[in-house]
Homo-oligomer: A and B are copies of this chain.
Amino acid sequence: MNANDTTRMSGGSMALSRRQFIEELAAIGGTSLAMAGMEALGFGFTSAQAAPPTLAGRGKGVKVVILGAGLAGMTAAYELGKAGYDCQVLEARDFAGGRCQTARRGFKHTDLVGNTQVCDFDEGLYINHGPWRVPYHHRSTLHYIKQFGVPVEVFVNDNDASYVYFEKGNGPLAGKPVRKGMIAADARGYAAEMLAKCAGKGDLDAGLSPEDKEKFIAYLVTDGRLSMKDLGYHGTDGRGYDVHPGAGVDPGPGKPSTPFAFKDVLDSNAWQVLSSVTEYDQQRTMFQPVGGMDQIAKGFVRNLGPVIRYSCEVQKIAQDDRGVEVFYKSANGQGASIKADYCLCTIPLSVLKSIDLAVSDRFKQAMAGVSYAMVNKIGLQMKRRFWEEDHFIYGGHVYNDIRGIGSITFPSTGWMGQKGVILGYYAFGTDAARVSGLKPAERAKFAVQAGQKIFPEYAENFETAFSFSWHLAQYNKGGWADWSQEGRQTAYPILCEPDGRLYLAGEHLSYMPGWQAGAIESAWQQIGKIHARVNAA
């Protein structure tokens, strides 16, 4: 029995709600007791992600300087602030959020190689060029969404009606847009047919009893949409109709679609997009803040008070037994410094490694033990929502094998409106290299040419683009920490612990790289450690 499913264990008589119970535990014993409590009750969310640590005890007046007003930094400032700590946040940019950004009309970005773009989307349109979706199981991100009353809407992350496009496949389906649901129906249908026929002939050595075998075949008929008569796969209504059912006698019942040949499905490579269930990070249901991901950052800012100093570039972090001192270049170009009892640094390691840092060699070596991912995104403003109007695709991705494109994604907002912003590419790793060297206009051209292979309406509807390469962003130098297995074993545990009075936090110190939840939960852990130390002192 899986812990995720023992939900009835606690019975209906429990007077406290589970949430209250967890909160009580957290209040008494901090996160770890709450975690143990959750585990004991079989709630299945046995991680720090359920709630921030309750910082009971002493904290008032203890000074913490926080470097970076991304979600990790603002989480720390918010929770420590509530517990009475005296926090100051230094932020290099002139706005808060870190990677939690949204590009809309007027948003300006100059990258490390000198490309300057000012977003000129129509009012109301935007692209989330950083994080863009919140899976239902990222409790920590949802915690602040709820806490700050950020309105959210569903992000459509799985759409069987969307196309897959594999140009490097073979056969008649290669290089053609094919609806994902058709591939799913046909691949699974034919496989189920083969297996049902095998089982029927007794060719399986799976040790199934005759009764089990009967149930097994019933399962295959159900899941594979097989004919009860011949256990054959002959298509299914779920893959769509050539003529949809309608009124009267014409179209009346409509005209069912014809399955692809199995060999064509195999040759197409399009089956590569199928998965028995969606992957952990890609689960339904997902959310996005209404109006752009930066609404989460703005929620923090609204609730933080004036603790963030903007346009402050950290240049040096010094520390001794009694405290830390952070030297920075302030908004007016002048040098300045700030002293504190502790420093929580959320600056990405890719940037931090160039800052003068008073830490042990061991810590410095660990910092060098991780590379950062190249990540490209581009938003393409389209004159008309042709994907909805002409192709009946509402949200979701076009998975494809076009080099440098990764996936193409339709907006999960503004349904049935006039214009929309498509995510024209979302490519990372080596796949990203070829695009980020291009000038912004060339990137847009590249994205539009790729989309045109799939949608004949792409180029004629394209109006304007905004692109972002995270490895070319001055204060990020990468999309997220790309840990190797070796790095996770050697460097990672070192960086999770403080060096003197310096604590690190951010998505790079989590097993949710690139996710906002990783940043938040890392901050929760590290402020828990600071608080324990303050109270032990």
Query: Do residues A277 and B236 form an inter-chain contact, with CB atoms below 8 A?
Result: yes
Encoded as 1 (CB less than 8 Å from any B CB) or 0, chain A from 192 to 217 comes to 10110010000110100000100110
Give chain B residues whose Cβ lies under 8 Å from the Cβ of A522. 247-248
**With A153-B153, A511-B247 in contact, do A280 and B237 touch (Cβ < 8 Å)?**
yes
Query: Do residues B137 and A278 form an inter-chain contact, with CB atoms below 8 A?
Result: no
Instruction: Say which one of A56-64, A175-183, A342-350, A422-430 lies at the interface with B.
Output: A175-183
Instruction: Say which one of A254-262, A318-326, A370-378 lies at the interface with B.
Output: A254-262
- Cα separation A99 to B44 with both chains bound (whole Å): 41
- Cα separation A156 to B181 with both chains bound (whole Å): 17
Give chain B residues whose Cβ lies under 8 Å from the Cβ of A237. 279-280
Query: Do residues A48 and B153 form an inter-chain contact, with CB atoms below 8 A?
Result: no
- Cα separation A224 to B278 with both chains bound (whole Å): 11
A360 close to chain B: CB less than 8 A: no
A490 close to chain B: CB less than 8 A: no
**With A153-B153, A248-B510 in contact, do A386 and B279 touch (Cβ < 8 Å)?**
no
Question: Which of B10, B223, B389 is the one whose CB lies under 8 Å from A188?
Answer: B223
Query: Do residues A524 and B247 form an inter-chain contact, with CB atoms below 8 A?
Result: yes
A327 close to chain B: CB less than 8 A: no
Give chain B residues whose Cβ lies under 8 Å from the Cβ of A496. 248-249
Give chain B residues whose Cβ lies under 8 Å from the Cβ of A48. 246-248, 251
Q: Give the residue name and chain of the B residue nearest to A383 (CB).
A: B17
Query: Do residues B8 and A45 form an inter-chain contact, with CB atoms below 8 A?
Result: no
A243 close to chain B: CB less than 8 A: yes
**With A49-B246, A198-B195, A198-B203 in contact, do A222 and B274 touch (Cβ < 8 Å)?**
yes
Query: Do residues B179 and A243 form an inter-chain contact, with CB atoms below 8 A?
Result: no
Instruction: Say which one of A105-113, A295-303, A392-400 lies at the interface with B.
Output: A392-400
A463 close to chain B: CB less than 8 A: no
Encoded as 1 (CB less than 8 Å from any B CB) or 0, chain A from 238 to 255 comes to 111111111111011111
CB contacts under 8 Å to B, within A1-47, are: 1-8, 10-12, 14, 17-19, 35, 39, 43-47
How many chain A residues have a CB neighbour from B under 8 Å? 141
A416 close to chain B: CB less than 8 A: yes
A384 close to chain B: CB less than 8 A: yes
A275 close to chain B: CB less than 8 A: yes
CB contacts under 8 Å to B, within A408-458, are: 412, 415-416, 452, 454-458
Query: Do residues A511 and B47 form an inter-chain contact, with CB atoms below 8 A?
Result: no
Query: Do residues A276 and B185 form an inter-chain contact, with CB atoms below 8 A?
Result: yes
Question: Which of B3, B415, B510 is the one whose CB lies under 8 Å from A247?
Answer: B510
Q: Give the residue name and chain of the B residue nearest to A245 (CB).
A: B511
Query: Do residues A275 and B225 form an inter-chain contact, with CB atoms below 8 A?
Result: yes
Query: Do residues A45 and B244 form an inter-chain contact, with CB atoms below 8 A?
Result: yes
**With A219-B187, A510-B246 in contact, do A396 and B254 touch (Cβ < 8 Å)?**
no
Question: Which of B4, B222, B225, B263 is the one whose CB lies under 8 Å from A182?
Answer: B4
A311 close to chain B: CB less than 8 A: no
A154 close to chain B: CB less than 8 A: yes
Query: Do residues B274 and A219 form an inter-chain contact, with CB atoms below 8 A?
Result: yes
- Cα separation A206 to B198 with both chains bound (whole Å): 10
Query: Do residues B521 and A390 form an inter-chain contact, with CB atoms below 8 A?
Result: no
A122 close to chain B: CB less than 8 A: no
A205 to chain B, nearest CB (A): 8
A124 close to chain B: CB less than 8 A: no
Query: Do residues A215 and B390 form an inter-chain contact, with CB atoms below 8 A?
Result: no
A284 close to chain B: CB less than 8 A: yes
A455 to chain B, nearest CB (A): 7
* Given A7-B177, A35-B251, A247-B512, 7 more pairs with CB closer than 8 A: A5-B179, A19-B390, A47-B243, A137-B392, A215-B266, A223-B275, A247-B510
Supply 18 A–B pairs (Cβ within 8 Å), ascending by A.
A4-B179, A5-B163, A7-B390, A7-B455, A17-B386, A35-B251, A45-B244, A46-B255, A48-B251, A146-B416, A159-B284, A191-B192, A236-B276, A241-B280, A247-B509, A247-B512, A247-B525, A285-B394
For the complex of A and B, 5 pairs with smallest distance between CB atoms: A188-B276, A47-B246, A238-B277, A237-B280, A154-B154
